[in-house]
Structure formats: structure tokens, C-alpha cells
Chain A
Amino acid sequence: DSGVTQTPKHLITATGQRVTLRCSPRSGDLSVYWYQQSLDQGLQFLIQYYNGEERAKGNILERFSAQQFPDLHSELNLSSLELGDSALYFCASSAQGQPYEQYFGPGTRLTVT
């Protein structure tokens, strides 16, 4: 158990819909990262927040957005969903703003039908 929690574990929704994925970092960690992992694909970095502020942006689509709240939990919002958005979405946290060793949550498996 990494100490990072993600909800929900599974999500099935239709194209065009909007979903919110939630992540709580390890106690004391200020940085949260979001990754997308498609079937048989590597980990694609989406976005990083540090202590409530956006720190780095990766290959995140305009239809996707994220935020980190004062209690340090983070939400990833995916809108106008397409079939190709079906993937595992991981949240990770680290203690510092720099990408030190990251602790991954169990992931949310999103299926868009």
C-alpha cells in the first residue's frame, strides 16, 4: 500500500460524458501527478500540481483539466469523452516539488463506451 488513494476504482461511461477522478496523496506529500496508461502503453505524464499550484504540464488534452485543493487532494476532470480516452489513470505523489521518487495510487480504470 503506497498511501495514495484513488477513487473510483472503475468507471464506465458513454462518449460525450464528463467524469471526475479523485486522488488523495500520501500524508505530507505536496506534489500530485496524473498519468494516463493505455493498454500495453507506457505512462504518459498529464499534469503536476504542487501545493495547490500547477507545476508542470505534459500531454494533457484541452478536454482534460485538473486541480489541487487546499487539503492537497486532487481531481482530474475529463470531458467530452471519446473512446480513445479509455485507459488507466494513475495519480502519484511525492514529497517535493521536484519529481523525486513517486508513490502511485492503485489507479482508476476508465472505460468509455
Chain B
Amino acid sequence: GQQVMQIPQYQHVQEGEDFTTYCNSSTTLSNIQWYKQRPGGHPVFLIQLVKSGEVKKQKRLTFQFGEAKKNSSLHITATQTTDVGTYFCAAISSGSARQLTFGSGTQLTVLP
């Protein structure tokens, strides 16, 4: 089945530093979603990207979908302690099996 690779697995940053997590697929994706899971919490939907080369911003968060629709990134500018959590990408293949496949997640720790 489809696999979505997400890197890095862990990231520690000092508060105020930037953070980026990447999601890659060997197959063309129909769209990609990003979720955030706080420690002890449940995944919360952040955004969905559909178009090739799409860029969306939510305050300090910038989401990009690659031109070939095989990769995506989430960039956080000037991290804050409230950004702590695990960020997951979730992709839907362009094939007939329209399941949502989650990446393994990037666990972000922000040091004060």
C-alpha cells in the first residue's frame, strides 16, 4: 500500500527558532492534510492542501504542497512552547483506494 515518509522523527528547538517537518511519497497524492497532536491529546486537523504548488499560511505556520504533488512541508516560524506536540501529515493517494494514510509524525519539543 501507499507509504508516506515523514522526517524528522524528533526535533528539539529553542523557543524562537524555526521548525520544519517534511512529508514525502513515492506516488502522486490526491491531496495532503496536516494534523497536530498535543501530548496526551488527540489529533486535530490543521489544514488540507489540494493543488500542485499550493502554499497556505496560518499565522506562524506555513504549509506547502510540492509541484509534483509527492511532497509537502510544514514550517513554523519563531516557535513557542504552545507549538509542542506531534505533527502528522496524512495523504490520500490518487488511486482508487482513497484511504487516508498517516505519516509517522514529527515530535516537536520547544525548550523555553
Contacts and interface: CB of A to CB of B under 8 A. Distances in A.
A104 B101 contact: no
A105 B42 contact: yes
Nearest to A45: B99
Interface residues of A, number: 23
A84 interface: no
Interface string B86-106: 001010100001111111110
Interface string A89-113: 0101000001111111111000000
A99 B97 CA distance: 11
B28 to A, nearest CB: 16
A14 interface: no
A42 interface: yes
A45 B44 CA distance: 16
A33 B42 CA distance: 14
A16 interface: no
A107 B40 CA distance: 10
B102 A101 contact: no
Q: Which of the listed residues B42, B43, B48 has the most CB atoms from chain A within 10 Å of its own CB?
A: B42
A106 B42 contact: yes
B103 A42 contact: yes
B99 A42 contact: no
B88 A43 contact: yes
B42 A43 contact: no
A56 interface: yes
B48 A101 contact: yes
A90 B43 CA distance: 9
A94 B30 CA distance: 17
A58 B104 CA distance: 16
Given A2-B42, A43-B43, A99-B92, A56 B98 contact: yes
Contacts of B45: 101-103
Interface of A: 2, 33, 35, 41-45, 48, 56, 58, 90, 92, 98-107
